[in-house]
Amino acid sequence: MATADDIALIKKQEATLVFPAFDEAVAFKIGSAIRDRALKEDLPIIVDIRTFDRPLFYAAMPGSNASNPDWARRKINVVKRYLRSTYRLVLEQQRPDRTFKIGEGLDISDYVLAGGGFPVTVKGAGVIGVIAVSGLPEREDHGVVVDALCAHLGVDASKLRLPPEDK
């Protein structure tokens, strides 16, 4: 699949995976589902779910490491600034150094181009938070979030899931 096709599919994910409402209970349910999958599949990830004003769910799985929370924090900052998926920005920006262009004025210690941050969008309110996963290759981090959102919202994941990356 070409990069343009991936970007179009991520835009469709962002437009489709919208909550009727989002609160602590919803964050816990989604975070727990991601944690359960990580335990079952032995995924060495962390998951961080928050609104823009406070954390709602956090879990670190066996095999995750001390750098994963910082990667998640920087992904969260990117979603907060751009209100879109971090993997979409990775594909749109095409910057192998993982930094934004100098003219953006974004400090690399606070912002990173890496997949795994996905906007929490509420119908009628817009983007109010983010779900971040860190620990796998970025396309997989992104996919873990999308799969969990599809399951929670009752959306057929096979219609929204990115295909395996061409090597």
Domains of the chain with bracketed CATH? 3-157 (3.30.450.150)
Residue 164: φ, ψ to 5°: -55, 145
Nearest-angstrom CA–CA distance, 167 and 151 = 28
Q: Are 91 and 3 in contact (CB under 8 A)?
A: yes
Could you tell me which of 15, 4, 7 has the C-alpha nearest to residue 153?
15
Whole-prediction pTM value? 0.95
Q: What's the pLDDT tens digit per position in 11-63?
A: 999 999 999 999 999 999 999 999 999 999 999 999 999 999 999 999 999 99
Q: Are 131 and 118 in contact (CB under 8 A)?
A: yes
Q: What's the pLDDT tens digit per position in 123-166?
A: 999 999 999 999 999 999 999 999 999 999 999 999 999 998 87
Tokens of 108: 């690399």
